[in-house]
């Protein structure tokens, strides 16, 4: 019998950790699965801990993330070549989490027998030629001083696309189109579409509108107002301060994010159920 390797990560809230402990005990006692537990929650459930990076090196078949989208994004950020992730929803909205707790045991039972993987493009982020963590959802560049606009220059494949003043700009993947970008007025993009979304945040000009551009585009973002700083925030997980001397270049990452496919309802059904 083939032994499947499963990793577990979780929010630190008692309810999420307790649910993780139930799944881990069941998998270890009732299946032939080899289970790895994130070192941050392992002491809470009396288990040996492993880092996410160790799970990646051990070639875990998939990782179970118990929490919300933030838990999944933090886990992906720790991996150079992300393993498939199954999200169990302990959050509120959650576009990256597919399974409700009441369905989790039955889902895991099926996945142990085999599963498909859905690959999603990420964004490579270079700051002055140095790599920041790739973005699964979005890269947000925003003013470092609340209520004070900054001026952006957006260059796509060597051509000037936009020059505008705003509170910030969001550059998102198709997957991230239903996250921060949507809240800022951007379009919903089917994740099967190879595209990048650019959404100005509270722009000063009425003509500054969201753009959908090809996924293979190379986007350079520059600040134009001297002595003004901005923050580069990747998936809400990492924050870096930049100024007019800095250059941010965004393009498609070499490695995708990977998600375990669950059910057949698809993206449109998910949008309808979560946004209505």
pLDDT at residue number 276: 75
CATH (domain of 36): 3.40.50.10330
User: Could you tell me the residue range of the domain that residue 147 belongs to?
Assistant: 123-252
Q: Are residues 114 and 157 in the same domain?
A: no
Q: Are residues 163 and 198 in the same domain?
A: yes
pLDDT in tens, 144-172: 888 889 999 999 999 999 999 999 999 99
Q: Are residues 95 and 154 in the same domain?
A: no
User: What percentage of the chain exceeds 90 in pLDDT?
Assistant: 82
Say how many residues make up the chain. 276
A 10 A CB-CB count for 194 gives 13
Q: Are residues 111 and 174 in the same domain?
A: no
Classify strands 150-156 and 257-260 as parallel, antiparallel or unpaired: unpaired
A 10 A CB-CB count for 136 gives 28
Tokens 């998998």, residue located: 27
pLDDT in tens, 167-194: 999 999 999 999 999 999 999 999 999 9
- Structural domain count of the chain: 2
Quickly list DSSP for 195-251. EEEEEEES-SSTT---EEEETT--EEEEE-STT--EEEEETTTEEEEE-TT--EEEE
Residues forming the active site: 69
Tokens 């003004």, residue located: 228
Strands (E), 32-111: 34-38, 49-50, 62-67, 85-89
Residue 5 bridge partners (DSSP): 34
Q: Are residues 28 and 62 in the same domain?
A: yes
Tokens 């669950």, residue located: 262
Q: Are residues 114 and 161 in the same domain?
A: no
Task: With a cut of 50, say whether residue 262 has pLDDT above it.
Answer: yes
A 10 A CB-CB count for 96 gives 26
SS3 112: helix
Q: What is the pTM of this model?
A: 0.93
Alpha helices by DSSP H, listed for the chain, are 14-30, 52-57, 69-77, 104-112, 180-183, 266-275
């Amino acid at each position: 019998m083939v032994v499947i390797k499963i990793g577990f990560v979780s929010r630190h809230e008692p309810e999420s950790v307790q649910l993780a402990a139930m799944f881990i005990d069941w998998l270890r006692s009732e299946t032939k699965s080899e289970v790895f537990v994130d070192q941050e929650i392992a002491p809470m459930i009396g288990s040996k801990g492993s880092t996410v990076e160790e799970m990646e090196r051990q070639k875990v078949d998939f990782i179970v993330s118990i929490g919300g989208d933030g838990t999944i994004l933090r886990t992906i950020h720790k991996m150079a070549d992300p393993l498939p992730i199954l999200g169990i929803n302990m959050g509120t909205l959650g576009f990256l989490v597919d399974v409700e707790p009441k369905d989790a045991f039955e889902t895991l039972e099926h996945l142990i027998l085999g599963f498909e993987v859905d690959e999603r493009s990420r964004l490579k982020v270079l700051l002055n030629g140095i790599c920041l963590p790739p973005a699964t959802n979005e890269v947000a560049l925003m003013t470092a001083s609340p209520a004070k606009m900054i001026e952006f220059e957006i260059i796509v494949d060597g051509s000037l696309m936009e020059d505008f003043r705003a509170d910030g700009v969001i550059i998102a993947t198709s997957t991230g189109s239903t996250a921060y970008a949507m809240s800022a007025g951007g379009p919903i993009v089917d994740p099967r579409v190879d595209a990048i979304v650019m959404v100005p945040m509270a722009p000063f000009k009425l003509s500054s509108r969201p753009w959908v551009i090809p996924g293979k585009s190379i986007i350079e973002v520059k600040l134009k107002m001297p002595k003004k700083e901005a923050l580069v925030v990747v998936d809400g997980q990492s924050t870096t301060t930049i100024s007019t001397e800095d250059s941010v270049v965004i393009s498609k990452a070499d490695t995708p994010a990977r998600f375990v496919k669950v059910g057949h309802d698809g993206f449109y059904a998910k949008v309808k159920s979560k946004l209505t």
